[in-house]
Amino acid sequence: MTTDIPGESLDELPPTQWAGHPNTLAGVMGWAAGVLGVGPQPVASMPQVAAADVVLLLVDGLGDRLLHRHADVAPTLSALHATTLRAGFPATTATSITSLTTGTACGLHGIIGYAFRPDDHCRTTGPRRMLNALRWTMDAADGPSAMATYPPDLVAPLAGALAGLAEHGVSISYVMPGEFRGTGLTQVAFRATGRHLAANTPDLVREGVGTALAQRSGRRGFVYAYLSDLDAAGHRYGPGSPEWLRTLRAVDALVADLAADLPADAVLAVTGDHGMLAAGRRVDLDADPLWTAGVEMIAGEPRVRHLYVADGARDDVLATWTAELGAEARVVTREQAVDEAWFGIAVDPDIAQRIGDVVAVARDRTVLVRGDVEPLEARMIGHHGAWTADEQLVPLLVAHG
């Protein structure tokens, strides 16, 4: 399915420029520290405010381009728009949330995508296997647990910016689905000890945020809240679909309620981890053996693929994928991706080994699916991860108590 938006093109943002972009998700925690008075506010284009509490709501899949197109459905979100951020590469949940909470790009924090092959330094036993960082499973989203083979504190040891708030005495609360507590990704991204309030619906998120603000015991407070509904609707029905629009209306109502409930000395910030687009051409990598010739493992997700190749096969794999995909994907070596700062200006040498020997990034609306190995992902309508503005740009919305 392809969704054509009259008057809107799928602009591709230059990968060589993103790492130096002043407004990224990795800068939000530094801004929050400045708002709370425990650090400078380093990004001048973000609102320069002071508060005793910061509530940060992460709406999974809330893209800036999508919000602009559907402003009439989300008047509160549109009215609170403060600036536009770049999610960073790849524009996917596991990477973006870790970039947000650590304050760094993935070349340093280590979660380089939805799924990848970790380096030897963080494996405790057995051969190297693919890690699904979102589920913390091996080989596939529904594979066996990776907790023992790839302990979270070895895969991503960087504590980062959120832990820095706690070190300055800020009270931390988490309002997120109860099943997230203790998962591998949660251990990686949320290193600060805090109170967990289970919430998986807009009503429960509102209730949890209210409880967290009421029980901070006079200390400065930071509340992280998360809602997945918009992302789920986009994957299943497509961004801009009637089902997605109904979900956006519910998100808008939630934000309106949160803003109305804010104490006088609090700030509400809302952002997304990535945008989304509807798939066009689907290239099934399991349908023709040419895609796996010389390839030991295909990781990543439909918009960004990491190819781990057999010894001596890299040039052939690079040539085959480049020729077959043509203008529908950007296909480069690991070295080129690092040189062009795709994964951040600085890349730890060990983390660099997690990047595929060859990286293929889909262009326009093309998706690189695996119909046999990843049937759920292959059936999705909405996708994200690559370099288009629809995927990369997310809003920062700010409300004051």
Same domain, 34 and 166: yes
Note the pLDDT of residue 41: 63
Same domain, 181 and 259: yes
CA distance 58 to 380: 22
Q: Is there a cis peptide before residue 90, judged by omega within 30 degrees of 0?
A: yes
Count of beta carbons in the 10 Å neighbourhood of residue 217: 7
SS3 state of residue 312: coil
In CATH, what number is assigned to the domain containing residue 54? 3.40.720.10
Asked if residue 274 is part of any domain, the answer here is yes
Q: Cβ neighbours of residue 332 under 8 Å, at least 6 residues apart?
A: 340, 358, 359
Q: Determine the residue type at 261.
A: D
Note the pLDDT of residue 10: 77
Contact call for residues 55 and 268 (beta carbons, < 8 A): yes
Count of domains in the chain? 2
Can you read off the two tokens belonging to residue 394? 């997310």
Same domain, 192 and 95: yes
Ordered DSSP codes for 45-99? TS-----SEEEEEEETT--HHHHHHTTTT-HHHHHTEEEEEE--SS-SHHHHHHH
Q: What is the mean pLDDT of each run of 10 residues along the chain (401 residues)?
A: 41 80 89 91 76 97 97 98 96 98 96 97 93 97 96 94 94 97 97 96 98 86 98 98 98 98 96 98 97 98 98 98 97 97 95 98 97 95 97 96 81
Range of the domain at 233: 15-105+156-278+388-400
Closest alpha carbon to 341 in 183, 126, 108: 108
CA–chain centroid gap for 74, Å, is: 22
Note the pLDDT of residue 130: 97
Half-sphere exposure of 16 (CA within 13 A, CB side): 4
Note the pLDDT of residue 8: 45
Same domain, 234 and 101: yes
Same domain, 312 and 337: yes
Asked if residue 10 is part of any domain, the answer here is no
Ordered DSSP codes for 7-22? T---PBPPHHHHTT-S
Same domain, 60 and 161: yes
Q: What does pTM read for this prediction?
A: 0.95
Contact call for residues 177 and 199 (beta carbons, < 8 A): yes
Strands (E), 146-294: 171-176, 195-198, 221-227, 266-271, 277-278, 282-284
Note the pLDDT of residue 230: 98
CA distance 246 to 180: 25
**CA distance to 160, 279, 308, 355, per residue, from 341 (Å):** 20, 27, 20, 12
Same domain, 92 and 221: yes
Same domain, 129 and 168: no
SS3 state of residue 78: helix
